[in-house]
Structure 1
C-alpha cells in the first residue's frame, strides 16, 4: 500500500495527525470502537457500551480474553494508562486535546491537576472501562476510533521507555503487527494472530510504502508493485480514469485543503488586511478546474459541504465576482502599506508533492499583482507539520480530512492548541464552540457552530482552497474496499485474489 508520508512514530501519543499515520495505526491498534468496511462505527475492543441518561458517562464492556500481540492480557487498565499518557504534559501529545471533554483532562494537560484525577476508570477487574465527561458531548463516541483512544502496553513502556514502539519491541492489539520499519522506505507488518477477530482477517500482512511523489506511486501501481495507492494527484484523474477505469476511485469526502496564516507577533500576515487581500486574490475555480482537472471542488468554507446536519459558512468576499475581489484586495494592500513599488515579501511553505508545488506556484502568481513577492519552500511532510506546530512559517499549506462526520471536527482546528498552527485566538469563538459541544438539540447546536465558523472566517486566520474528493487506486481484484465520505479504511476487511 502506498501512503502519503512516513509516520512520525508508531506510538499513538507521538504522531503528528497525518492521514497516513492514521491509516497505519488503525491497522495495528484498536480502541473501544472500530470501523467497518464502510467507515461506520462498530464494536472494537469493547463488545458493547452504555451511555448514561445525562450523556456524561460512557461505560465500555471489553471482550473476554483480549491479549496484546506478545500474549500479555489486555485490560481496561491499559486504556486508563494510555489516556493518562495522552494528557500528561510530559508526553506533549498532539492528540491530548481530543480528551478535553473528559473530566479534568484539560487541567491535567495544563499541569494543574494530577494524572490520577482523569475521569477514566478501570472497573470489574479490568473488564470495564468507564469514561466520565464534563458535559454531554454528542460527537464523543465518533472520536473513539482515532489514535488517542487506543490502548498502550504499559508493560512494554516500562521495559523499553520511549523505544517501546520500535517494531523490535512493540506490542499491539490490532489486526496487524509491525515487524520491520525502514524510515521513509517501508513499514512491514504481519497478521496479529492474537487479534480478537483474527479468524476473519484474510491478509497475511500489510506493507506500507511512504510515497510523497505520487507520480512515482502511480508508476509502481501500474507495475504491480502496489495493490493500493492512497491519494493520487487530482490532476491525474482524467488520464487515470481513461487508462485504469476499474482501478481509479474518486469519491466525495469530508476534507478541506487550505492555507494557514501565522498570526504571531512579527509575522508579515499578522495584519488582517493583508490576510483578507491574499484570500480574495486566490482563484479557486482556476485551481480546481484547470490545475487539478476537476478532481476537487473550490472551497469557500472551513467545514466542507456535505457535513451532516450543518450548512457551511463562506469566508467573506469569496462569493463576489473576481473583479470586485481583486479591486478590494489591492485597496487593502495599499492600506497596509504594500504595493508593486513596496512589495510584501512572503515565504509560502508546503510539503513535498507535485500537486502542492503546482498550487503554490499558481497562488504566488495570483498574489504578484498585489505587490507580493513569494519565496516557495518545501520540506518532507513530517518536517513540514513539525514546523507548523512550532509556528515556524508565514503562510503554509495545510489540510484536514475529517475522521468523524461532525462540523466540530473542523472547528477544533481554530480552538485546540495542537492543530491551531497559526495561533488564532478569539474568546467569542472558543465560547461558541464550547457551547456547541454541550448542546443536545441538533438545530441549536448547528446554529452555534455556524456562528463560530462565520466569526472565525471573518478574521481570516486561514483561507480555504478546495474541498477534497478521496482519490485512490485500488486493484480491481481486491474485495472489501468500500469508498466512503470519511475515506477511512481498515485493512482487516480487505481480501486479495487467490
Structure 2
C-alpha cells in the first residue's frame, strides 16, 4: 500500500490511497538487477537487500544494526573465542514447512567453501577451521570444515583463531542456510520463484528481469507475528535520475540512492524526505596490476595522487561524503586510521609529484598515455568518471576512454582481469571490523579484482586471525593496510554516506552504519 503522488508545478503532494486496498505493500528502489539470489553465489548490495528479507542466518540484526538471535535462539562461546555452539529454534521452519536444522547450515557452509560452487565470498568463512585450505583446494574433504551438527538443532563451530567479528559476519548471505533437497533437485534453477525454498520473513513469488522482484510475507517464519508488511516489491533502477522521477510519481516509497546533481534541489524542496547517514564503505578506483600499463607501481601512484578528492566531494558528490586516503573506513571499531603517504599537503603539490612519477613511468604530456576507465551503468558513476578523467587529462595530458557496462557484465569483466585497466568499485563492510576491508585483498580472495598479491600482507592477516590480544591484532591489521596502501592497487576516493528518498508514511526503520534495512521491521502508515 503506497500513497500516490501528483506532480504540479515541480512540487509533490501526498494523495490518500484507496481504502479498498487491504494489502500493505512496500515499493523499494533496489539499484541494479541482482545477478543471483543464491546466498552462496550472489554478489553486490542489490542482491544483499533482498536476501536479508528472504533468508535468515544464525544471527540477525535489529533496526540499529546490532546483532540479535536469528535462526539460533542462543549460543555459547568458549573462553578462547574459537568454539561456538548454536541452539537452533524449534520453530525455525522453511517456507515449504520443513524444519530448519543444523544440517542445513553444515550443507550451506560446506557448499560456500567448495571450489566447485565458485563462491566469490568464500573468504568470509576463512575464520572456520580448514575453510581456507578447502577453498584453495589443499583440503579435499568438505567434512573437515569446522562446522558440525551435533544433532538436528545443535550446531558446533570451530574457528582457526578468535574472530571478534564472527557473530556479525554470519549475518552475511554466504552464511545463510539453504534447503539441500531443493538445491539438489533444481540445480542452478533452484532460486526461481516456483522452486525457491527460503527461511526468512518473506518469500519470493515473482522475478521479472529488469522490472521487479516480488516477495510476500512468509506464513512459516518463526517471528511472522511481528512482520507488518504483506508484500515487498523490489524495483531495479540503474539510473538514479529515473528512480527519483519514479519516486516523485508515487511508484516508489523508497529509493536506492539519489542523483548527485539533484541533491541541491532535493534539499530545497524535499528535505523532509531526504535521508543521509554514515555508511561503512569506501568508493574507489581499482587498477589491474596484472597487465600494462598499471603493473607499474609509479603509474598507479601517480593516477591516485592526481585525483582531487576534495573537489569531488564538494562539487560532484555533495551529501557529506568524506575524501578517502585510507581503505579501511576511519572510525571502524577497535582500529586507528592508516592513510596513504600523500594525504598531507595540498592538491597542487600532489599533482606536481604525480606528474614526476608519470614521467618516470615513461610518459609525458607530449607522449601521453591512453587508457580505459570502466564503470557500471549509473548516472552518478558516469559523472564521477568524467570528472576524474578530466583531472587526469589536466595533470598528465592522459587520454581516458570511458566504458560503461551493465552490472552483471561489469562484475564478470573485472573478475577476468583481461581488458580492465582502471575501474570503478566500492566496498561496503560486511561487519564492523577492519578485517572486512582488508580480507578483500588476500591473494586468493574471489573479489580481488586488482591482482594484488603480497605474501607479507597475507601473512599479517593470518597472524591477526589467530591473535587473541586486541592491541596486537590491531597492530598487525594496521601493518597490513600500510602495505596495501603503499602498493596503490586502488585509489580510495571517498567514504560513503547513504542518501535516499523515503516517503513520510514509511515507518519502523532507522539508519545504521551498515545500511542493513530489513523490510520485516517496516510498515506503511497513513
The residue aligned with 2:324 is 299
SS, match of residue 452 in structure 1: helix
Aligned counterparts, 1:160-309, within 5 A:
160-264=186-290, 266-309=291-334
The residue aligned with 1:22 is 48
Distance 1:353 1:209 in 2: 15
SS, match of residue 213 in structure 2: strand
The residue aligned with 2:483 is 455
Please report how far the alpha carbon of residue 440 of structure 1 lies from its aligned counterpart in structure 2 after TM superposition: 2.5
SS, match of residue 187 in structure 1: strand
Please report how far the alpha carbon of residue 211 of structure 1 lies from its aligned counterpart in structure 2 after TM superposition: 0.7
Note the residue ranges of structure 1 that are not aligned, 5 or more in a row: none
SS, match of residue 269 in structure 1: coil
Matched, 1:138 2:169: no
- Answer with 405-414 or 239-248: which moved more: 239-248
The residue aligned with 1:82 is 108
Distance 1:455 1:110 in 2: 23
Distance 1:260 1:319 in 2: 22
Matched, 1:38 2:64: yes
Distance 2:375 2:365 in 1: 25
Please report how far the alpha carbon of residue 294 of structure 1 lies from its aligned counterpart in structure 2 after TM superposition: 4.5
Give the number of equivalent residue pairs.
495
Please report how far the alpha carbon of residue 210 of structure 1 lies from its aligned counterpart in structure 2 after TM superposition: 0.8
- Answer with 252-261 or 232-241: which moved more: 232-241
Distance 1:403 1:241 in 2: 30
Deviations 1:443-465 (A, max 9, x none): 22222211111121011010111
Aligned counterpart for 1:10 among listed residues 37, 62, 67 = 37
Matched, 1:123 2:150: yes
Aligned counterpart for 1:343 among listed residues 353, 358, 368 = 368
CA contact (8 A) 2:123 2:439 kept: no
Distance 1:331 1:220 in 2: 48
Distance 1:13 1:144 in 2: 12
Distance 2:471 2:138 in 1: 35
CA contact (8 A) 1:8 1:14 kept: no
What's the TM-score, normalizing by structure 2? 0.92
Root-mean-square deviation over aligned CA pairs: 1.3
Deviations 1:178-232 (A, max 9, x none): 0110112110111111000011100001110111101111111111111111222
SS, match of residue 279 in structure 2: strand
SS, match of residue 229 in structure 1: coil
The residue aligned with 1:497 is 525
| Cα distance change on mapping 1:431 and 1:476 into 2, 3 Å | same
Distance 1:309 1:378 in 2: 38
Matched, 1:464 2:492: yes
CA contact (8 A) 2:240 2:378 kept: yes
CA contact (8 A) 2:82 2:159 kept: yes
Distance 1:69 1:241 in 2: 43
The residue aligned with 1:421 is 449
CA contact (8 A) 1:254 1:306 kept: no
